[in-house]
Amino acid sequence: MARYSLSITESAAKELEAVAVKRDRQQIVLRIKSLADNPRPRGCQKLEGSSRLRVRQGYYRILYEVADSEHTVTIVKVGHRRDVYR
């Protein structure tokens, strides 16, 4: 499988920086980097009514889109599970 390139929206980057606990932030970054090797890891779910996927990292969720034709993964949103879907 070819490696995908990662991109992150400006708003998602701000949300990532806003994660208060440094350890959580580091784990989220590692999870995002792993999406370059496997954009559809075990446990990812497609969101209803959208082309977006989500993966869980502790209490946080990472919402992203995959463009297979261009081999890109775009991180759209990062947030706590109680707030991320709003």
Structural domain contains residue 33: yes
Structural domain contains residue 86: no
pLDDT of 2 above 80: no
pLDDT of 62 above 70: yes
pLDDT > 70: percent of the chain: 99
Number of domains the chain is built from = 1
Structural domain contains residue 47: yes
Q: Could you tell me the CA-to-CA distances from 24 to 36, 56, 71 in Å, in that order?
A: 20, 12, 27
- Average pLDDT of the chain is 95
Structural domain contains residue 19: yes
pLDDT > 90: percent of the chain: 95
CA pseudo-torsion sign 65, 31, 78, 80: positive
Structural domain contains residue 73: yes
Structural domain range at position 67: 5-80
**Domain of 66: which CATH number?**
3.30.2310.20
Q: pTM of the full predicted structure?
A: 0.94
pLDDT of 37 above 90: yes
Structural domain contains residue 68: yes
